[in-house]
């Protein structure tokens, strides 16, 4: 049980300890790609650690039943108490029940996330098909279309081979040619980076396990960072001016009119003030280097924690 105990501590640390650290380091958006990587690493490490706890505890219970031996919880890692031997039937029932419940929750979560992904993909395909039928292409043969609507909006719809970027006629009235090109580059960055899939999975995980802080925090923190990642891509192609003008033009529309299908990534609907601020006053090279160094350290530590727990178990016997 050493391995399961240590992995349990690792899972607790990542699930409820890592979010506060990552949020503090990544919230500025100076290096959004690194921030997204840090959040996704923490989510992956937490899920992997909990699965390892379930598997290790279940394996220990099965071995106890097969051999008729006592299941021992070793206190050796904390160097405070000696091994504590519990009655075999009680310990096996407790550990086996924990493992069974944990696996049931895990499988239910996988099912719910998969079902949400399938529903979202079906809805996206339907919306993309309708937009392509009703809309006019911005550029012949391109994925961006213009639909007639009074609501100024620009967003992307991830639909596999039918990925579509939608701009409303009201949005086109607010943007010049350079602004349209910058918005399309921004939305293309979302599609190429699979940002809609990332946000959909994180949202489904947070809904399935709302008490897991790392999941709820990631679902809240990652979308603004992904918007900043797409901003940086658009700026690299078209410069800051056109994108900045486009964000301001679309964001200044009345809030009630900025309506788009649920779950899509809009060009000017998430963290607009923070994004405009970082475009107007970009961080210095020194600040970028410092944040990337800190985030790379937390990424490495978070990814290594489960492996270190197993290694420590082997060393302590």
User: 71-83, pLDDT tens digit by residue?
Assistant: 555 443 333 334 4
Give the distance, in angstroms, between the CA of residue 139 and the centroid of all CA atoms in the same chain: 32
Q: What is the DSSP letter of 242?
A: H
Q: Please, what is the Cα angle at 245 between 236 and 132, to 5 degrees? A: 80
Q: How many domains does the chain have?
A: 1
Per-residue model confidence (pLDDT) at position 316: 55
Calculate Rg over the CA atoms of the chain. 24
12-55 pLDDT, tens digit per residue, is: 999 999 999 999 999 889 999 999 999 999 999 999 999 988 88
Tell me what pLDDT residue 230 has.
96
pLDDT reported for residue 68: 64
Element (H, E) at 195: helix 195-208
> What pLDDT is stored for residue 28 in this prediction?
87
Which is nearest to 235 in space by CA: 197, 167, 185? 185
pLDDT in tens, the chain (317 residues): 467 778 888 999 999 999 999 999 998 899 999 999 999 999 999 999 999 888 888 877 777 666 666 555 544 333 333 444 555 566 667 777 878 888 999 999 999 999 998 998 899 999 899 999 989 998 866 789 999 988 888 999 998 888 999 999 999 999 999 999 999 999 999 999 999 999 999 999 999 999 999 999 999 999 999 999 999 999 999 999 999 999 988 887 665 444 566 777 788 778 898 999 999 998 899 999 999 999 999 999 999 998 887 777 666 55
First CA to last CA distance, the chain: 10
Residue 127: name the closest of 172, 167, 164, 171 by CA: 164
Q: Which domain holds residue 188?
A: 2-316
């Amino acid at each position: 049980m050493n391995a399961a105990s240590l992995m349990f501590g690792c899972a607790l640390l990542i699930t409820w300890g890592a979010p506060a650290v990552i949020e503090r380091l990544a919230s500025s958006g100076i290096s959004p790609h690194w921030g997204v990587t840090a959040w996704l690493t923490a989510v992956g490490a937490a899920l992997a650690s909990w699965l390892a706890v379930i598997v290790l505890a279940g394996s220990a219970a099965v071995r106890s039943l097969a051999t008729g031996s006592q299941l021992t919880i070793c206190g050796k890692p904390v160097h405070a108490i000696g091994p504590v031997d519990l009655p075999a039937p009680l310990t096996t029932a407790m550990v086996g029940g924990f493992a069974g419940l944990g696996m049931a929750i895990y499988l239910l979560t996988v099912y719910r996330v998969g079902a949400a992904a399938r529903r979202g993909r079906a809805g996206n395909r339907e919306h993309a098909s309708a937009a392509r039928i009703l809309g006019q292409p911005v550029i012949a043969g391109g994925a961006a279309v213009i639909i007639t609507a009074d609501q100024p909006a620009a967003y992307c719809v991830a639909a596999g081979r039918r990925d579509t970027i939608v701009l409303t006629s009201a949005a086109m009235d607010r943007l010049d040619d350079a602004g349209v090109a910058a918005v399309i580059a921004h939305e293309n960055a979302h599609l190429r980076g699979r940002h809609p899939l990332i946000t959909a999975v994180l949202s489904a995980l947070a809904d399935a396990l709302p008490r897991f802080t790392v999941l709820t925090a990631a679902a809240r923190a990652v979308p603004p960072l992904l918007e900043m990642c797409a901003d940086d891509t658009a700026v690299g192609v078209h410069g800051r001016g056109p994108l900045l003008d486009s964000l301001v033009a679309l964001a200044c529309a009345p809030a009630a009119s900025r309506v788009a299908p649920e779950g899509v990534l809009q060009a000017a609907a998430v963290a607009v003030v923070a994004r405009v601020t970082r475009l107007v006053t970009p961080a210095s090279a020194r600040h970028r280097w410092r944040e990337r160094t800190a985030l790379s350290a937390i990424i490495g530590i978070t990814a290594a924690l489960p492996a270190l727990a197993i290694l420590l178990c082997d060393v302590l016997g």
